[in-house]
Each structure stands twice: as structure tokens, then as C-alpha cells.
Amino acid sequence: MITLAIALVAVVLVYIYGTRTYKYWEKRGVKYVKPIPFLGTYGSVYIMQKSVSQINVDAYWSYPNEKVVGQFWASKPQLLIRDPEIIKRILVTDFAHFYPRGLNPHKEVIEPLLRNLFFADGDLWRLLRQRMTPAFTSGKLKAMFPLIVQRAEKLQTRALTGSNSGQVLDARDLMARYTTDFIGACGFGLDADSLSDENSAFRKLGAKIFTSGPKDIFIAMLKEVFPDMCKHLKYLNRVEEDMINLVRSVLKDRNYEPSGRNDFIDLLLECKQKGTMVGESIEKTKPDGTAELATLELDDELLAAQVFVFFAAGFETSSSATSFTLHQLAFNPNVQEKVQEEIDRVLAKYDNKLSYDAVKEMTYLEWTFKEAMRIFPSLGFLIRECAKQYTIPEINLTIDQGVIIAISVQALHNDPKYFPNPENFRPERFDPEELRSVEKYVYLPFGAGPRVCIGERLGLMQSLAGLAALLSRFSVEPAPKTLRYPKINPASDIVQVIQGGLPLRFIKRAAK
């Protein structure tokens, strides 16, 4: 009997622990999505029925007349922001209250590869951002462009092989290989050759990073539900050693000196040569209220972490966005024709060769790419964490330190309030004249504010170059098994992934 009583008490205590925060939004008069014990409002994610992005879309539409909606990330209160003015406060105006990304429950225990610009918070993030921002100037990007052109030409060759043999090509896989080769060249100074080699080791590494199985999801769940007990569990154990060893090998080959290739490793080595990073702390203040000084050394592991996020962020987001653009063009031949007319006209001015300046002139292609990212943004949601107690003035709501903030990019991009007839693929929405009428802070494929994606311009340049290379030589059409509305992989986490690929026909265009 005593054993049974102890067991019952233990069950009750565990239940209380798992539901201890679930009155948080009710007490504050905020409408919220009802949580389930331990898992909060993300139960469907943990059993791989819905993606994180879809959960946030559902919450966005659950209370369409509210400026904010309450949720729970496991036991942590989470607030979904629906109002553009409040979004601006979170991302820009009151950034000092929301500088953490909120993806690391324990600031003192961060996996080596997660100590990067995307996942890092506080002084680690600020010093890295401060040092690395100059590495993404227009001049640096222009110097990288010849490396992009070489990969774009290989992309044409692979598409030509498939076209000549009458194959249906998976646009998702094709663009992932192009992106992998671009990252190999511009990130590591390596010829990954995944466009030619079906079994490219570099392509496998990229796939390995984004292959989340039940074990990975279970570890993520444990870290969120029981953060104190599970803080030493590693989510990226499967690729950590491979990535760190690869980066160390490249650094050793270069004798830790810039090689003149103008790739990402060179840029990081230039950052390292500048010595210890020093800056005002965003986390700590002196007794007089002024900021303390924070310092950071850029060692091998920290370099590897930045290369990892360059690989991971660039690989999945760019290949997803470019392949979805091709998918939309296949179903919108009138738009495809306008894109190709522009590409042909601009390339004729540049001796029919891709160049940095030529791609910059392809404005309709850029509008088309942005429209594809509107319908299906690679990052379906943004996330922040409240760093100190804050009152949202628009609704007089005070939230505490540690509350998670979510912004559903997917829902905002497809809200008819901001984008009329959102299901229609219409690049003209991004004509600057028309865009002026669209409310700010509702189009956020790269985020906004101090934590906006540092590689936005590089990703845009590489994506547009790949699309221009393909569409100058081929037209795309739906294949017999092409789904008009592709399904999202429910295992998708931060980046949305389409399930089953994007099969398309690549039809060779008549020579000009």
C-alpha cells in the first residue's frame, strides 16, 4: 500500500510539474489554444502529425480578431503575435527586450555547432554579428560571384541530361544539389560536385543535417519538457564530429590564412585575424547602469559553428525557395514567359553570360522569387524570447522574462487582409509602386531588425543566378505526378520541407 501511495503521489507531482504554467494566459485575459499536459500546444508536432509552422498557422487563425494568441511550448508560455505594429516592437523598436532567439533553454550548455549566429543569444550573438557583418558587403558578394557562375553552368548541364533523356526531374533535389555545390565552393572552398556525382559525400552531409528521425524529435521533446534534467542531451550529435573535422581539415590546408578564394572560410579567417572580439555587453551592466565589456575568441569550434549554419541555413532555405519558384512557374506559364523574356533581354546585353550586374537587372525574376517566398516561406515562423519583463502598450499586456514570442510568417504571407487573393501567384505584388500600399512587417521571409538574416543578399544572389541559368535554357512544366499543392513534411522544424519532392519536366528552349 505504501508503495502504491508513493507512486500515486509521484504521478500527481509530475502532473502538477507538467501543467504548472497552464493558467498563465487565462490569468492575463489572453485568449489561448488549450494545452495538453507536458506537451503544451505542440502535441501534434511531437507525434509528427503537424509541422511547427502549421501549429502556428492554426493558432493564428484560431482567433482571427485578436492581436495576440496564447500558446504553450511544452510548459513555457508562448505568445503568437498577429498584429504588425506589435511585430515591429518585438523585432525592431524594443529589440533590447527580445534579443534572444529562445532556442537554447540553457545558456551555459550549448552544443558546439549551435554556438552560431542563428542560434546564439546574448553577448555571443552580438559579438559574432558585429564581427561578421562586414564580411557580407556588396564588394565581398561580387567577388564570390564567379564561383556561383561555375555551379550554375553545371546546373544547366544536369538539367540538360534529364531533359534529353525525357526524365522527370525532382526540382527539389536538383536545386538542393546546386545549393550544395554553391556552399561547397563559397563556404568551404571545395568542389562538392553533387550535380554530377549521385553519391556525393557533401550532398549526403547536407541530407544528414536535415534528416530528423523519431529519435531526434524525442530528444527535442525531452529537452523542452524536462529542460533541467536533459540539458546535456545533444540534438546534433549525428553531424557534429563530421562538420568540425571537415572545417579543421580546410583550415589546416590553408595554414589558417586567407587563401584569396574570397569564400566564406576566407571571410572567417579574416575575422579571426582581427583578434579578440570586444564590445558592449547586451546582458550585463555595471552598478552605474552602463554596459560591461564582453570579449570572445574565434577558435576552431566557433569557426566550425559558423560554417555549419552557413551550410544548414543556405542549403535548406535556398533550395526550398528556388524549387518552389520553379513549381509555381510550371503552373503559371504566362508568368514564366515574362520571366524568360526579361532573362533573355538582360543576358543579350551581357554577351549571353551570367554576371553579378546582369542578375541585379533581372527585377521581374526577383519579384517572382519573392512571390514564391510569400506563398511558401522557407522559415514558416520567427521566434524570440522575452529577456526582461515587458508591457505591450497596444493591449496593455505585461509578460515575464522567459516567455516565448512566435510570429507566423506563413500565416501573415497568406492573410488576405495584407495580400488580396493570396492563393494567386502574382509577382507584380512586389513592384515597388504596389508594395508601398502593403503594411510593413507582414512580409518577413528573412526576418527583420538586428537579427535579420545576415546572408539575405548572398542567398538572393545565388538563388536568382540558379533560376536565371535554368530558365534561360529550359521551360518547366508539371509532370504527371506533380501535385498542384505540395504537402509539407510534418517532421519539419525551423525550416519547412516539402514531402515527396517537386517533380517537373524541363523542356529545352529553342536556341536564341
Assign 284 to helix, strand or coil.
strand
Give pLDDT tens digits for 299-308. 888 888 888 8
Q: Return the pLDDT at 114.
A: 84
**Could you give the CA distance from residue 172 to residue 210 in angstroms, rounded to a whole number?**
14
Q: Return the pLDDT at 265.
A: 83
Question: Residues 90, 78: contact at Cβ < 8 Å?
Answer: no
**Could you give the CA distance from residue 227 to residue 279 in angstroms, rounded to a whole number?**
30
**Could you give the CA distance from residue 243 to residue 300 in angstroms, rounded to a whole number?**
11
**Could you give the CA distance from residue 496 to residue 324 in angstroms, rounded to a whole number?**
12
pLDDT-based confidence at 8, cuts 50/70/90?
A: low
pLDDT value at 97 more than 90: yes
Q: Return the pLDDT at 216.
A: 59
To the question of whether residue 186 is assigned a binding role by annotation, the answer is: no
Q: How many CB atoms are located within 10 Å of the residue 281 CB? A: 17
Give pLDDT tens digits for 15-60. 566 678 899 999 999 999 999 888 889 888 888 889 999 999 999 9
Tell how strand 277-285 and strand 404-407 pair up. Answer: unpaired
> What is the distance, to the nearest Å, from the Cα of residue 313 to the centroid of all Cα atoms in its chain?
6
Picking from 135, 137, 148, the residue whose alpha carbon sits closest to that of residue 258 is: 135
Q: Return the pLDDT at 439.
A: 82
- The cell for 98 is 527580445
Q: Return the pLDDT at 211.
A: 60
Q: Which of 11-20, 314-323, 440-449 is the least confident region? A: 11-20
pLDDT value at 342 more than 90: yes
Listed in sequence order, the residues at least 6 apart from 47 whose beta carbon sits closer than 8 Å to its beta carbon are: none
**Could you give the CA distance from residue 49 to residue 96 in angstroms, rounded to a whole number?**
36
Alpha helices by DSSP H, listed for 414-500, are: 432-435, 456-471
> Residues of the chain with pLDDT > 70: what percent?
86
**Could you give the CA distance from residue 504 to residue 474 in angstroms, rounded to a whole number?**
11
Give pLDDT tens digits for 359-403. 999 999 999 999 999 999 999 999 999 999 999 999 999 999 999
Question: Residues 327, 486: contact at Cβ < 8 Å?
Answer: yes
- The whole-number average pLDDT for the span 125-139 is 84
**Could you give the CA distance from residue 202 to residue 399 in angstroms, rounded to a whole number?**
44
**Is the torsion defined by CA of 106, 109, 111, 114 positive or negative?**
positive
**Could you give the CA distance from residue 243 to residue 238 in angstroms, rounded to a whole number?**
10
**Could you give the CA distance from residue 359 to residue 247 in angstroms, rounded to a whole number?**
31
Angle (deg, nearest 10), helices 138-164 and 171-183: 140
Question: Residues 146, 140: contact at Cβ < 8 Å?
Answer: no
Residue that wins the pLDDT comparison between 125 and 246:
125
With 0-12 / 13-18 / 19 or more C-beta atoms within 10 angstroms meaning exposed / middle / buried, residue 199 is exposed
Q: Return the pLDDT at 258.
A: 83
Q: Return the pLDDT at 328.
A: 98
Question: Residues 285, 292: contact at Cβ < 8 Å?
Answer: yes
pLDDT-based confidence at 264, cuts 50/70/90?
A: confident
- The whole-number average pLDDT for the span 238-266 is 79
DSSP state of 264: H
Beta strands per DSSP E along 105-200: 169-170
Report the Cα–Cα distance between both ends of the chain, in Å, rounded: 88
Picking from 408, 442, 387, 401, the residue whose alpha carbon sits closest to that of residue 101 is: 387
Question: Residues 157, 165: contact at Cβ < 8 Å?
Answer: no
Q: Return the pLDDT at 354.
A: 93
pLDDT value at 418 more than 70: yes
H-helix or E-strand spanning residue 330: helix 300-331
Q: Return the pLDDT at 224.
A: 61
For cell 500527481, name the residue: 12
**Could you give the CA distance from residue 460 to residue 449 in angstroms, rounded to a whole number?**
18
DSSP per-residue codes, 194-253: TTT-TT-HHHHHHHHHT---HHHHHHHHHHHHSTTTTTT--SSHHHHHHHHHHHHHHHHH
Tell how strand 503-508 and strand 404-407 pair up. Answer: unpaired
pLDDT value at 408 more than 90: yes
**Is the torsion defined by CA of 47, 50, 54, 60 positive or negative?**
negative
Average pLDDT value for the chain: 86
Q: Which of 1-15, 87-101, 121-135, 352-366 is the least confident region? A: 1-15
- Beta pairing partners, 60: none
- For 136-141, which contacts have Cβ atoms below 8 Å and span 24 or more sequence positions? 136/454, 136/455, 136/457, 136/458, 138/457, 140/262, 140/267, 141/356, 141/457, 141/458, 141/461
- The cell for 350 is 551581357
Alpha helices by DSSP H, listed for 254-299, are: 264-273
Q: Return the pLDDT at 1.
A: 64
Give pLDDT tens digits for 204-250. 666 666 566 566 556 665 556 556 555 555 556 667 777 777 788 88
For cell 526582461, name the residue: 388
**Could you give the CA distance from residue 198 to residue 173 in angstroms, rounded to a whole number?**
11
Q: Return the pLDDT at 291.
A: 85
Listed in sequence order, the residues at least 6 apart from 393 whose beta carbon sits closer than 8 Å to its beta carbon are: none
Give pLDDT tens digits for 135-191. 778 887 888 888 888 888 889 988 888 777 778 999 998 998 888 888 877 777 776
Residue that wins the pLDDT comparison between 223 and 122:
122
Q: Return the pLDDT at 322.
A: 96
> Residues of the chain with pLDDT > 90: what percent?
45
Q: Return the pLDDT at 183.
A: 81
Tell how strand 382-385 and strand 404-407 pair up. Answer: antiparallel
Single-letter amino acid, residue 479: A
